[in-house]
Amino acid sequence: MKYGYARVSTKEQNVDRQITAFLGEGIDSRNIYTDKATGSNFNRKRYRTLLKKLKKGDVLYIKSIDRLGRNYEEIIKEWNYITKITKVEIVVLDFPLLDTREKVSGVTGKFLTDIILQILSYVAQIERENILERQKEGILEAKKRGVVFGRPKKRVPDEFQEVEMLWKKGKLSLRKGAAILGVSHSTFAKWIKKTEKID
């Protein structure tokens, strides 16, 4: 039996291109499973349902390796489970070398795909590290230029002292005082603590 698995990260994206590719491979539309979920893990509803359906000898098609997932360590684990435990073949349409059915010069596709996956995971890991390093460098340079990160601090309103005085006299609750100032009660409490330290 042939199955297709399609994934996009957000509800705004669509899976039409992936589904068209599966239909072109002769996959019945009832055997195409789609998720609109992050690729960072495999805790996806339709993917989990698909895994329960797969049986030895079935073929699972995906459009590209990143549609299966984004975390390459997790991809390798999942790939090994599907191909070695469940005994299901995997075909990655955009990467013909990732086809566990094929034999190249007498070498089985499973062996080749294992090697290619290891290389891809290494490259992905290096790229992740490079991105983090570039982000750190970018933040450092931005800070040198005086760029401030995070949300700007709320300015203490002019009427704060008056409201604080009413609160201290017990004429206002913390929540009521915060509501008058248009802030959360935790922000109001924080401002009160700061003035107490100054006093």
The DSSP element (H or E) to which 8 belongs, if any, is: strand 2-8
- Beta strands 2-8 and 103-104 are unpaired
- 133: tokens are 């390093």
Q: Backbone phi, then psi, for 33, in 5-degree steps?
A: -110, 135
Catalytic residue among 9, 64, 105, 186: 9
Q: What angle do CA 106, 110, 116 make, to 5 degrees?
A: 105
Q: How many C-beta atoms surround the C-beta of residue 177 within 10 A?
A: 24
- Scanning the structure block, which residue is given the tokens 């669509």? 14
Rg over alpha carbons for the chain, rounded to the nearest Å, is 28
DSSP label at residue 27? -
* Catalytic site includes residue 121: no
118-122-127-130 Cα dihedral, nearest 10 degrees = 170
Distance separating alpha carbons of residues 31 and 60, to the nearest angstrom? 10
As annotated, the active-site residues are 9
